[in-house]
């Protein structure tokens, strides 16, 4: 009986000691959290797309007639100036026709001059002069036709640019429409990409874009939107947008695939770290510290950027939001905020109480 009484007394004494060690007769210390005052930050909407590079100007020169190539005046990948001769086709027959037409033209003009003098002296009729005038005009037209035919056999560059690889040689007989060379002006690159109609209101001519190519992953290419197609694709419900990229170093080539990023709109809104956000289904919450307690507040979020979440509704600048320790707290629970007076004191008191109890 005496031993039983001693055991009960010992248990009561240990229980009292334990209560003092906790420093809170009602339970454990409130959880320690980290909180920060909310601030406004700039958020930028971005539109991502994939586009294809197109030369600023590009044309494929082809033979206008079936003829033999006499001369090619370009090397693989060479730069040629506007008006420079690219290829010359044989024109012997046309040259002979020009000589004949020129001779007829001279003869017709001489005959017209003689008839005009005779008419002035009364020895030629007006009808004879008119008939000879028509013959002279016809001879002139035939000579012009022969010159044009010869000119068609001299193929010139319509603009300055870089010529493609040569796949044909002098002496070859080519048919009408046979490709001889492709000339590309790549001093600037047209970048065509599709944007969904839902984002159409966020783009406009003059807007800055940034493009990246797989060949140069660390080098961004910046340009501006030059035009937006007036017609949407009915299958994809997207509009084609064209941007212009400077290409002085000729790194970008027509046909390249580029990823496009557009900074659509910048705005200022309240921001919180991503770790402060608590999600439940379709809703998001944050914990705000008020009067030493955590209060759960529903918020409406926007975009995420650089580890921060845009808050559209629910918070105002200056409110203290729990950024670390959200998993340890619940709505209305008392908390200790790291760095505030008493936050560390509770831990120290707890340690002293435990030492004394031991």
Per residue in 179-188, pLDDT (tens digit) is 999 999 999 9
Share of the chain above pLDDT 90, in %: 31
Quick one: which of 275, 355, 301, 347 has its CA closest to 35?
275
pLDDT at 264 over 90: no
pLDDT at 27 over 80: no
DSSP 61-83: EE-SSSEEEEEE---TT-EE-TT
Contacts of 188 (CB under 8 A, 6+ apart): 56, 244, 245, 246, 247
Length of the chain: 358
Res 98: pLDDT:
80
Task: State the virtual CA torsion across 248, 249, 251, 255 in degrees, nearest 10.
Answer: 30
Quick one: which of 299, 354, 342 has its CA closest to 32?
342
Quick one: which of 219, 262, 270, 267 has its CA closest to 243?
262
pLDDT at 210 over 90: yes
Rounded Cα distance between 294 and 331, Å, is 6
Q: What is the mean pLDDT of residues 21-41?
A: 72
Share of the chain above pLDDT 70, in %: 87
Quick one: which of 39, 32, 33, 35 has its CA closest to 308?
39
Contacts of 294 (CB under 8 A, 6+ apart): 33, 287, 288, 322, 329, 330, 331, 332, 333, 334, 335
Least confident of 20-29, 73-82, 94-103, 254-263: 20-29
| Element (DSSP H or E) covering residue 321 | strand 320-324
Res 345: pLDDT:
52
The mean pLDDT value of the chain amounts to 83
DSSP H stretches of helix in the chain: 2-22, 92-121, 126-152, 343-357
Q: Alpha carbon 42 to chain centroid distance?
A: 22
Contacts of 291 (CB under 8 A, 6+ apart): none
Res 120: pLDDT:
84
pLDDT at 348 over 60: no
Quick one: which of 163, 263, 164 has its CA closest to 204?
263
More confident residue, 8 or 97: 97
Quick one: which of 180, 185, 179 has its CA closest to 162?
185
Rounded Cα distance between 92 and 345, Å, is 107
Q: What is the mean pLDDT of residues 320-337?
A: 88
More confident residue, 2 or 161: 161
| Element (DSSP H or E) covering residue 188 | strand 179-196
Q: Are 154 and 88 in contact (CB under 8 A)?
A: yes
pLDDT at 100 over 90: no
Res 186: pLDDT:
93
Would the pTM of this model clear 0.85, i.e. be above it?
A: no
pLDDT at 201 over 70: yes
Quick one: which of 194, 102, 180, 90 has its CA closest to 143?
102
Q: Are 250 and 285 in contact (CB under 8 A)?
A: no
Least confident of 23-37, 77-91, 240-254: 23-37
Quick one: which of 272, 268, 302 has its CA closest to 286?
272
pLDDT band with cut points at 50, 70 and 90 for residue 168: confident
């Amino acid at each position: 009986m005496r031993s039983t009484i001693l055991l009960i007394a010992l248990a009561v004494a240990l229980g009292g000691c334990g209560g003092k060690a906790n420093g809170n007769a009602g339970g454990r210390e409130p959880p320690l959290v980290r909180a920060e005052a909310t601030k406004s930050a700039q958020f930028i909407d971005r539109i991502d797309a994939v586009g294809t590079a197109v030369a600023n100007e590009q044309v494929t020169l082809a033979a206008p007639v079936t003829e033999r190539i006499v001369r090619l005046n370009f090397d693989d990948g060479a730069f040629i100036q506007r008006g420079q001769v690219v290829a010359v086709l044989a024109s012997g027959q046309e040259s002979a026709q020009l000589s004949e037409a020129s001779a007829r033209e001279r003869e017709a003009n001489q005959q017209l001059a003689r008839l005009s003098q005779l008419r002035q002296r009364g020895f030629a009729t007006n009808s004879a002069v008119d008939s000879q005038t028509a013959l002279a005009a016809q001879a002139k037209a035939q000579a012009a036709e022969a010159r044009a035919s010869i000119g068609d056999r001299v193929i010139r560059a319509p603009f300055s640019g870089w010529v493609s690889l040569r796949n044909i040689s002098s002496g070859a007989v080519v048919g009408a429409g046979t490709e001889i060379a492709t000339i590309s002006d790549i001093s600037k690159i047209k970048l065509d990409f599709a944007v969904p109609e839902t984002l159409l209101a966020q783009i406009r001519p003059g807007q800055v874009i940034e493009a990246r190519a797989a060949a140069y992953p660390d080098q961004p290419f910046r340009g501006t939107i030059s035009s937006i197609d007036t017609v949407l694709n009915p299958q994809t419900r997207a509009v084609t947008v064209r941007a212009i990229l400077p290409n002085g170093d000729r790194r970008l080539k027509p046909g390249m695939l580029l990823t496009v990023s557009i900074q659509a709109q910048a705005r200022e809104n309240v921001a919180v770290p991503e770790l402060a956000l608590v999600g439940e289904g379709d809703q998001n919450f944050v914990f705000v510290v008020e009067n030493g307690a955590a209060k759960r507040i529903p918020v409406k979020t926007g975009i995420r950027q650089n580890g921060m979440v845009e808050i559209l509704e629910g918070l105002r600048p200056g409110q203290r939001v729990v950024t670390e320790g959200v998993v340890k707290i619940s709505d209305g629970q008392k908390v200790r905020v790291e760095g505030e007076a008493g936050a560390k004191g509770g831990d120290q008191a707890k340690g002293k109480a435990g030492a004394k109890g031991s």
